[in-house]
């Protein structure tokens, strides 16, 4: 809920306006005890709503921070990719180009699978996420 902070601020302003009005009425001795109790009940309800709105906003902010940290971590990891033989490479290991290009997912390829040798003498590496097959020359892999 992206407007929780705005809602919380608006409710807090309403509560402060109410306090100001009650304070003025009390100064002029215009309030009965029952009216004062009603205003305090209303004020308490508004402050509970403020607390709820700010708590929701805090949870949303924590979720967004986690998402930002994860996106930053992935971007930092992918920044050191190099491209060769149709896949991405980092520290001598091949990474799935489909996963990275489509969703910025860093998926290390599995392999080589020695029982799947292509006609061109390449070894097949696979992606566990999208099941892609990537024939790579054996010399390419450290």
Contact positions vs Zn ion (CB under 5 A): 96, 98-99, 107, 127, 129-130
**Residue number with CB closer to Zn ion (100 or 123):** 100
**Residue number with CB closer to Zn ion (95 or 123):** 95
Helix axes 33-79, 4-27, angle to 10 degrees: 160
Instruction: Write down the least CB distance from residue 72 to Zn ion, Å.
Output: 21
**Residue number with CB closer to Zn ion (45 or 70):** 70
DSSP code at position 134: E
Sequence-ordered list of residues with C-beta below 8 angstroms from that of 140, at least 6 positions apart, any chain: 84, 85, 94
Instruction: Write down the least CB distance from residue 110 to Zn ion, Å.
Output: 10
Instruction: Write down the least CB distance from residue 93 to Zn ion, Å.
Output: 14
Give the C-alpha separation, 62 to 85, whole Å: 40
The single residue listed with the structure tokens 């390419």 is: 140
Give the C-alpha separation, 109 to 124, whole Å: 10
**Residue number with CB closer to Zn ion (63 or 110):** 110
Sequence-ordered list of residues with C-beta below 8 angstroms from that of 97, at least 6 positions apart, any chain: 83, 86, 87, 88, 134
Instruction: Write down the least CB distance from residue 41 to Zn ion, Å.
Output: 59
């Amino acid at each position: 809920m992206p407007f929780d902070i705005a809602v919380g601020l608006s409710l807090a302003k309403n509560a402060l306006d109410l306090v100001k009005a009650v304070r003025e009425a009390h100064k002029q001795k215009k309030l009965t005890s029952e009216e004062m109790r009603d205003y305090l009940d209303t004020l308490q309800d508004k402050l509970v709503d403020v607390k709820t709105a700010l708590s929701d906003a805090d949870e949303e902010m924590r979720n967004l921070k986690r998402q930002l940290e994860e996106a930053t971590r992935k971007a930092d990891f992918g920044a050191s990719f190099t491209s060769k033989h149709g896949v991405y490479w980092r520290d001598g290991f091949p990474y799935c180009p489909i996963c990275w290009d489509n969703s910025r997912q860093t998926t290390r390829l599995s392999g080589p699978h020695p029982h799947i040798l292509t006609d061109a003498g390449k070894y097949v590496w696979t992606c566990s996420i999208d099941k892609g097959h990537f024939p790579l020359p054996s010399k390419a892999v450290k």
